[in-house]
Structure 1
Amino acid sequence: MSEHNTGGYRTADVPVHGGALRCGLWGPEDPAAPVLLAVHGVTASHKTWGLVAARLPHVRIIAPDLRGRGRSNGLPGPYGMAAHAEDLAAVLGAFEVESAVVAGHSMGAFVSVVLAHRYPRLVRSLVLIDGGLPLQVPPGLSDDEVIEAVLGPAAERLGTRYASREAYRSFWRQHPAFARNWNPLVEEYVDYDLAGEESGLRPATRFEAMREDTADLNRGPDLRAALAALAVPTLLLRAPRGLMDEPAGLYTQAHARCWEGQLERLTVRDVPDVNHYTIVMDAPGAGVVAEAVAAALVPDAPAEPGGPSAVAAPTAPR
């Protein structure tokens, strides 16, 4: 395992099947420090977690670029929730972590649930950030139709070439999710999310990784089995607005509360005034996530932070 240190932030390359997984690291290097394993979304990277890390300076944060993304984009498939869970277990083993709180954003939440099922000794509790429950899509859709329904322009972006880094920044500055929420973290995230030469820059995520993973989290068996066996305290933080800042979030409140009623270890909490991205990549969303992680790291504490839930009374889904 090789490491590169720049101030408080550093990176490490961890051997996994087929190559090495790039990991972003924040916080103390003391092996006795509390550990957060932070897992990003379907077209994202470990740079998602910078604002959360800044709010948890005493926590040892390990945030991999998942297989097929970021600086792990050279890793081949197979992809899917189980494959990513195997990689995450290898990462925790490389850092000699016996047990961690695991936070997953978007697709990272699905991976986190499967990790907890396959490696229960490694996961003490889960913080799921706008992900981890079955998608709300009509039955019978093809994989491509599911990608279009859930990801839309995010999937189209992977096939686009950009003339310069500034052109890519311009795309994101105009994105509805960030038009009113641009900040230095987002710019750093956007700059990191490019591969290739200046004459032909493209997003780092492999299209085939995104496609295979989206199909697996929608219809694969691993997620359903993991949810059915959910055995650790689990908090779902729900964004009321979606990927394009639209009023309909990834999950309706009724859908999330229905699953809360079915799963004894699941608690649902709404995070007001955030969308699918800003729940973790802007204030105050990142502050709520950090609060939830800090609460989960307290020995024998429930995953939900103190105070009343922002969720309204349960509503039966129709």
Structure 2
Amino acid sequence: MTGWLTEAVPRGRVAAFRTLVYLFVAADLVVFTPWVRTRVDVPGDLYRPLLIGRLLPLPTPDEALVGMVFWVLLVAALLAATGRAPRLLGWTVFALYFEWMIVAMSYGKVDHDRFGLLVALAALPTAGRARHGDPTRTEAGGWALRVTQIAVICTYFLAAWAKFRFGGLDWATGSVLARAIIRRGTDLADLIAQVPHLLIVAQFGILAFELLSPLVFVVPARWRTAVIGFFYSFHLATVATITISFAPHLVAMTAFLPLEKVRPVLLARRLLTRRAGPPTVTDHPRSASPADPPAPATPLTPAPDPVTGPAPLG
């Protein structure tokens, strides 16, 4: 079991995963969750912190606290994406993002798509230094990726467990997807909803998918990437029908992928080189340099006549 948890991976994979995760954190602040800053406009008595927020305890968020977390976290995430000071910056990003999520989820709604990302942020500082393209293997980096993978799969499996806990089989036979389509469905979802019993079949399929998700750890390695591709296709269908993206979860799920093979900087250089074309070769003779030896002198002897022999010199 220990060998499986710490299975060594290339350091380049850890570096690529680290850069992707920290860049997403920066993007999350300004694209996906900028609304967290508006929590300061909500009366403080509506703040109901999560259990961890009550145990620490954490202060009721105000404008100064949320603003400080936003700007320091944004700068720290961008710096951490470079791979510098992985422990110092890594723990800083984790602590601040954890507080950012507590503020976000302490007003009545808790999203479960950020569990894998939070585990990744907690594990990455333990991976140590890693450079892009480095093929040497690291067990510490392997552990960081493995616990992130486990968190990703737990998100699926525990979601199925929650469905059974609160809805039982009625979740699969009810109108869950129908209500979601009414609330936030797309034109594609409207077409699917017109097919008789298809939504019920889809609900049973979702339960089966979530319950069987741990099998990704036992399938042969050559098939694992294809299985993860199926996971991504499931979320693509979710976005296309009921506009739920699960973006943080999708970023954490890249822990399953050989990210060291994707090198955008190197790819950009190759594309620029191809556009520039091959080097131009000129037809001009090479100019002689002072170090070149002198060319041999050509004799001034006339060419012999084929009949009479050599021509006279006078």
Same fold (TM over 0.5): no
More helix by share: 2
**Class of the TM-score when normalised by the shorter of the 2 chains:** under 0.3
Q: Which has the higher contact order (CA 8 A, sep 6+)?
A: 2
More strand by share: 1
TM-score by length of 2: 0.22
